[in-house]
Chains A and B, each alone.
Chain A
Amino acid sequence: EPEVTQTPSHQVTQMGQEVILRCVPISNHLYFYWYRQILGQKVEFLVSFYNNEISEKSEIFDDQFSVERPDGSNFTLKIRSTKLEDSAMYFCASRALGLAGGETQYFGPGTRLLVL
């Protein structure tokens, strides 16, 4: 069964460093998402991406964040200068192009980011 994969599973970085989280969405999917979950808190939406551009972003997704689909398979989240409060699980999700409605987002296993 196709699945979303994410690398690395864990990342430890120093405050102020740049990190890139990578995702390989399900192959025929066209919508891509990043969510995050701070320990003990809710899963929060960050950004959605379609047709090589951001379709929606949350208030969390400020200028320190960027997303890219550098090739036909990868979808990346870059944090330019990490802060302590960026420590969280980051989940990538993807979905197919559903014109009839009811299309489902499928999530990857997540990357645990720890900023020291």
Chain B
Amino acid sequence: DAKTTQPPSMDCAEGRAANLPCNHSTISGNEYVYWYRQIHSQGPQYIIHGLKNNETNEMASLIITEDRKSSTLILPHATLRDTAVYYCIVRFQLYGNKLVFGAGTILRVKS
């Protein structure tokens, strides 16, 4: 699986958009970009994933650059409950393929 690079921490004001970057310059053409988050010591929560196109769901938007070497997770209106560790994971979608977690980005949403 390709390695990812994320900033260790970010701050965001409540109600503003949180933009979390991820670099994955060695990604291959059949690898997906996944985003999970972990609040305190709870189980990782799936947020969104994509292959080439930008994606949006009820939680967030995922913007993937045209060369696929980086992506940005956007939380459009961050709330205090969005304070968490956010993980960007790149993986090839083999049957049963494991997720490899890095250190992620600690997002602190402040009032």
**Which A residues are within 8 Å of any B CB, using their own CB?**
4, 31, 33, 35, 37, 39, 42-45, 48, 50, 55-56, 58, 89, 91, 93, 97-98, 101-110, 112
Known A102-B49, A104-B34, A110-B42: A50·B101 in contact at CB below 8 Å: no
Contact assessment for A105 and B43 in the assembled complex, using a CB-CB cutoff below 8 Å: no
Contact assessment for B96 and A91 in the assembled complex, using a CB-CB cutoff below 8 Å: no
- Bound Cα distance from A37 to B68, whole angstroms: 30
Cβ–Cβ < 8 Å partners of A105 in chain B = 46, 99
Question: CB of B51 within 8 A of chain A?
Answer: yes
Contact assessment for A107 and B95 in the assembled complex, using a CB-CB cutoff below 8 Å: no
- Bound Cα distance from A55 to B100, whole angstroms: 16
- Bound Cα distance from A45 to B44, whole angstroms: 13
Chosen A-B contacts, 20 in total, with CB atoms closer than 8 Å, are A35-B101, A39-B41, A42-B102, A43-B38, A43-B101, A44-B101, A48-B97, A48-B98, A50-B96, A56-B96, A89-B41, A91-B43, A91-B44, A102-B49, A104-B34, A105-B99, A107-B44, A107-B45, A107-B46, A110-B42
Cβ–Cβ < 8 Å partners of A93 in chain B = 43, 99
- Bound Cα distance from A33 to B87, whole angstroms: 18
Cβ–Cβ < 8 Å partners of A109 in chain B = 42-43
Cβ–Cβ < 8 Å partners of A50 in chain B = 95-96
Contact assessment for A43 and B44 in the assembled complex, using a CB-CB cutoff below 8 Å: yes
Contact assessment for B98 and A45 in the assembled complex, using a CB-CB cutoff below 8 Å: yes
7 extra A-B contacts, CB within 8 A, seeds A33-B98, A42-B102, A55-B96 = A43-B38, A48-B98, A50-B95, A91-B43, A104-B49, A107-B44, A110-B42
